[in-house]
């Protein structure tokens, strides 16, 4: 058993199960999914045909003939033979009935700026014009990749949908990531076009974003990938709000180009269901991010079903997911899922506490939001900043989602009682970039809630917790293990871009019963999380088992951070550990040792910290950089990160006598704890 698993097991046994909370009758009365026999309908005996119900939420150009094709195991294909367009499903099919309904509410960060309401009709127009531009000006066609480095303005979903309309594969990189991180993804995806924006608001400041495009193009070029065109949206059309001049013949302003395409329309390209809708890069246990490949038909079917039945979105609801579209949560649950079922979805530009922690509740009141979706980090931050604030506002949520990290029961209760005013159901949804949509969660009108637990597998998802030998740990055994899903499902990624072997090794390598087999029963999906399953089948996620840390709900590879630290010349070795923190859940502490000719200084520690945020983006910035004389090492020379983690977390370091340099442990402890 790995060291991390041992820690998790310890943690699991001491955690008391919480009591159930029940949904109110008013909620059940209006809910989309109230029939408890649904779990039967989606039993393993009914796999895979049960998923027809998911696919039938979509409008198909050509209906599919094969629900599930396992022939290229474990790259499963869904709804084979079908043809479909994702943009058509999110936009065109709502025209008529919902033409004048708001599709996207754009809430700028500055409260002095007007909230924009984009109707489905207007969205149709803007997506069409953008799609023609991408085809005729940028030369993009089905199957090409294009990298987007866009923040939270309506231009992001518009660009995504325009790509989807053409069958172009978009790869959106979180705007907070550095130009270098964006360039690495441009290179990996072999994008010849980069779409960005000049600037956007964050904490009251208009940030210059264009500068990152120049860095990205440079970083991609250094690795051999040339970006031919950089298309730049402008936060204020007609006004350029960035420092760096545009590069003649490479950089173009979208608002200027679009005047050419005004009111032009373009037919959605009918795509094979199993073709690629988008890539979403995520961190793994090596330095290089993985491009998760998501399909069109399977993914769209999955997120539409989840939005309708788990989030209980009806077309008349106003729904706000306060995540960033730069992550999978935003792709699935701001854009594709909600728009596919004709929701009104809110896109908020800024931070939740700007200009003060009442902001989210004012937005909720003003727009009449009744479904709210956010992360434990945001909930902790709002609770800490102003625990009574929601009471001052006159809004009413029927439903609230939490996602991305484990939520502590105390925090859950504040969310339920204060934010939800004791009336809203809460779903704690456990899933991943790889999985496309939720895996474990309660069905809000059917299952009671349990603070701190995600809930059972959703209909059609059959989770199992396994020990390191592949034995099943039974529900209620109070032992932690690796959570796996027994069966494939339509929302799952199909592979890692250009790296099928890594896909197989990372997610199936450990538990595959027969690598030659095309029987899905031999290929349980290993998520990479430690978990405990209670007797009632509810799953509690304990954290990652691999070298990934979850900072404020964002996945960062420890190797990515360590590699960034090693770009500083003076640094000889680097080790990252995760530290518990009140608001962000966990944060990284970075330990470095220097090459012999250098001396530790404050300035050098700052330089290392800056190198990490320059290479990866501010979210990766370590809480502390400790320059140590030496790393604690095993006799074979392996850095003992576990010992550094214990020091950072003020825990007992345990027996260190078998190290090659045990004396260093006490030195480091003093350095860290006695300041």
The residues binding ligand WTA (CB under 6 A) are 282, 327-329, 403-406, 428-433, 454, 527-529, 541, 544, 550, 555
Minimum CB distance to ligand WTA smaller for 8 or for 225: 8
In whole angstroms, the minimum distance from the beta carbon of 589 to ligand WTA comes to 19
Alpha carbon distance 516, 341 (integer Å): 39
In whole angstroms, the minimum distance from the beta carbon of 476 to ligand WTA comes to 20
Minimum CB distance to ligand WTA smaller for 361 or for 507: 507
In 3D, which of 376, 386, 373, 379 has the Cα closest to residue 322? 373
In whole angstroms, the minimum distance from the beta carbon of 576 to ligand WTA comes to 17
Minimum CB distance to ligand WTA smaller for 451 or for 460: 451
In whole angstroms, the minimum distance from the beta carbon of 600 to ligand WTA comes to 34
In whole angstroms, the minimum distance from the beta carbon of 595 to ligand WTA comes to 35
In whole angstroms, the minimum distance from the beta carbon of 293 to ligand WTA comes to 14
In whole angstroms, the minimum distance from the beta carbon of 527 to ligand WTA comes to 6
Residue 279 pairs in a beta bridge with 171, 293
Residue 465 pairs in a beta bridge with 473, 483
Minimum CB distance to ligand WTA smaller for 339 or for 541: 541
- Phi, psi torsion values for 623, nearest 5 degrees: -65, -45
Q: Pairing relation of β-strands 481-485 and 525-533?
A: antiparallel
Minimum CB distance to ligand WTA smaller for 529 or for 547: 529
Minimum CB distance to ligand WTA smaller for 350 or for 436: 436
- Quote the tokens at residue 129: 């014009």
* Residue 233 parent element (H or E): strand 229-233
In whole angstroms, the minimum distance from the beta carbon of 548 to ligand WTA comes to 8
In whole angstroms, the minimum distance from the beta carbon of 289 to ligand WTA comes to 11
How many other CB atoms are there within 10 angstroms of residue 267's CB atom?
A: 11
- Quote the tokens at residue 663: 């004396």
Contact, 408 vs 588, CB < 8 A?
no
Query: Residue 156 contacts by C-beta under 8 Å, 6 or more apart in sequence?
Result: 148, 150, 172, 325, 347
Alpha carbon distance 430, 378 (integer Å): 16
In whole angstroms, the minimum distance from the beta carbon of 194 to ligand WTA comes to 23
Minimum CB distance to ligand WTA smaller for 85 or for 433: 433
Cα torsion angle, 310, 488, 165, 229, sign: positive
Alpha carbon distance 591, 576 (integer Å): 6
Distances, alpha carbon 556 to alpha carbons 18, 367, 456, 607, in Å:
30, 34, 27, 20
Minimum CB distance to ligand WTA smaller for 108 or for 406: 406
Residue 550 pairs in a beta bridge with 555
In whole angstroms, the minimum distance from the beta carbon of 583 to ligand WTA comes to 16
Tally of helices (H runs) and strands (E runs) in the chain: 21, 31
In whole angstroms, the minimum distance from the beta carbon of 377 to ligand WTA comes to 11
Helix intervals (H) in 430-484:
none
- Quote the tokens at residue 386: 């102003």
Minimum CB distance to ligand WTA smaller for 10 or for 141: 10
In whole angstroms, the minimum distance from the beta carbon of 541 to ligand WTA comes to 4
Minimum CB distance to ligand WTA smaller for 491 or for 622: 491
What is the spatial order of strands in the sheet that 399-403 belongs to?
Answer: 116-119, 102-107, 344-348, 318-321, 371-374, 399-403, 425-429
In whole angstroms, the minimum distance from the beta carbon of 76 to ligand WTA comes to 19
Alpha carbon distance 548, 318 (integer Å): 35
Minimum CB distance to ligand WTA smaller for 437 or for 632: 437
Minimum CB distance to ligand WTA smaller for 178 or for 433: 433
Can you give the length of the chain in residues?
A: 675
- Phi, psi torsion values for 311, nearest 5 degrees: -90, -10
Alpha carbon distance 662, 653 (integer Å): 11
End-to-end Cα distance, the chain? 35
Cα torsion angle, 545, 547, 551, 556, sign: negative
Minimum CB distance to ligand WTA smaller for 261 or for 327: 327
Residue by residue, DSSP assigns 288-328 as: SPEEEEEESHHHHHHHHHIIIIIS---TT-EEEE-S-TTSH
Per the listing, tokens 């007007």 go with 114
Minimum CB distance to ligand WTA smaller for 130 or for 578: 578
Distances, alpha carbon 361 to alpha carbons 320, 347, 600, in Å:
11, 15, 47
């Amino acid at each position: 058993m790995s060291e991390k698993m041992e820690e998790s097991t310890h943690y699991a046994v001491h955690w008391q199960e919480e009591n159930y909370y029940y949904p109110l009758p008013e909620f059940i009365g209006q809910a989309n999914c109230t029939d408890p026999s649904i779990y039967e309908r989606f039993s393993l005996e009914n796999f895979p045909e049960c998923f027809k119900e998911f696919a039938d939420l979509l409008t198909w150009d050509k209906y599919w003939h094969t629900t599930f094709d396992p022939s290229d195991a474990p790259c499963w294909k869904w709804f084979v033979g079908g043809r479909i367009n994702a943009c058509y499903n999110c936009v065109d099919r709502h025209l008529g009935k919902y033409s004048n309904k708001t599709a996207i509410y754009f809430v700028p960060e500055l409260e002095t700026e007007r909230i924009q309401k984009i109707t489905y009709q207007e969205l149709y127009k803007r997506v069409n014009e953008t799609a023609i531009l991408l085809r005729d000006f940028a030369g993009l066609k089905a199957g090409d990749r294009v990298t987007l480095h866009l923040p939270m303005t309506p231009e992001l979903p518009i660009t995504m949908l325009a790509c989807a309309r053409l069958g172009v594969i978009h790869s959106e990189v979180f705007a907070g990531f550095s130009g270098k991180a964006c360039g690495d993804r441009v290179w990996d995806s072999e994008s010849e076009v980069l779409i960005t924006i000049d600037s956007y608001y964050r904490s009251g400041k208009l940030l210059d974003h264009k500068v990152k495009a120049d860095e990205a193009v440079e970083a991609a070029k250094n690795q051999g990938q040339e970006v031919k065109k950089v298309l730049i949206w402008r936060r204020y059309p007609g006004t350029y709000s960035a420092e760096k001049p545009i590069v003649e013949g490479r950089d173009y302003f979208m608002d200027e180009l679009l005047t050419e395409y005004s009111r032009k329309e373009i037919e959605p390209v009918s795509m094979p269901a199993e073709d690629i809708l988008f890539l979403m890069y995520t961190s793994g246990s090596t330095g290089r991010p993985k491009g998760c490949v998501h399909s069109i038909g399977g993914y769209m079917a999955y997120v539409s079903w989840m939005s309708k039945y788990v989030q209980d979105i009806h077309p008349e609801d106003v729904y706000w997911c306060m995540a960033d579209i730069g992550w999978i949560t935003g792709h699935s649950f701001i854009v594709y899922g909600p728009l596919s079922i004709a929701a009104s979805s809110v896109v908020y530009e800024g931070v939740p506490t700007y200009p003060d922690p009442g902001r989210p509740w004012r937005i909720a009141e003003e727009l009449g939001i009744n479904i709210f979706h956010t992360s434990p980090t945001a909930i902790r931050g709002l609770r800490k900043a102003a625990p009574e604030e929601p009471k001052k506002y006159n809004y009413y949520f029927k439903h609230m989602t939490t996602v991305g990290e484990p939520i502590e029961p105390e925090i859950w209760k504040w969310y339920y009682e204060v934010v939800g005013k004791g009336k809203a159901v809460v779903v704690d949804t456990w899933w991943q970039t790889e999985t496309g949509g939720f895996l474990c969660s309660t069905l809000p009108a059917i299952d009671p809630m349990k603070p701190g637990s995600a809930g059972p597998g959703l209909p059609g998802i059959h989770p199992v917790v396994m020990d390191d030998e592949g034995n099943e740990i039974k529900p209620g055994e109070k032992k932690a293990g690796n959570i796996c899903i027994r069966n494939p499902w339509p929302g799952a990624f199909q592979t890692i871009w250009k790296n099928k072997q890594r896909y197989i090794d990372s997610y199936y390598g450990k538990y595959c019963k027969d690598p030659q087999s095309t029987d899905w029963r031999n290929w349980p999906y290993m998520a990479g999380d430690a978990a405990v399953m209670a007797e009632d089948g509810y799953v509690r996620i304990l954290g990652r088992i691999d070298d990934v840390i979850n900072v404020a709900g964002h996945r960062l590879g420890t190797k990515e951070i360590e590699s960034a630290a090693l770009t500083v010349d003076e640094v000889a070795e680097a080790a990252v550990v995760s530290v518990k923190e009140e608001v962000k859940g966990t944060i990284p502490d970075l330990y470095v040792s220097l090459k012999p000719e250098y001396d530790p200084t404050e300035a050098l520690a700052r330089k290392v910290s800056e190198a990490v945020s320059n290479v990866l983006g501010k979210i990766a910035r370590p809480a502390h950089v400790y320059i140590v004389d030496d790393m604690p090492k095993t006799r074979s020379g392996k850095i003992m990160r576990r010992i550094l983690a214990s020091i950072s977390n003020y825990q007992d370091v345990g027996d260190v006598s078998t190290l090659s340099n045990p004396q260093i442990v006490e030195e480091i402890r003093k350095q860290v704890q006695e300041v």
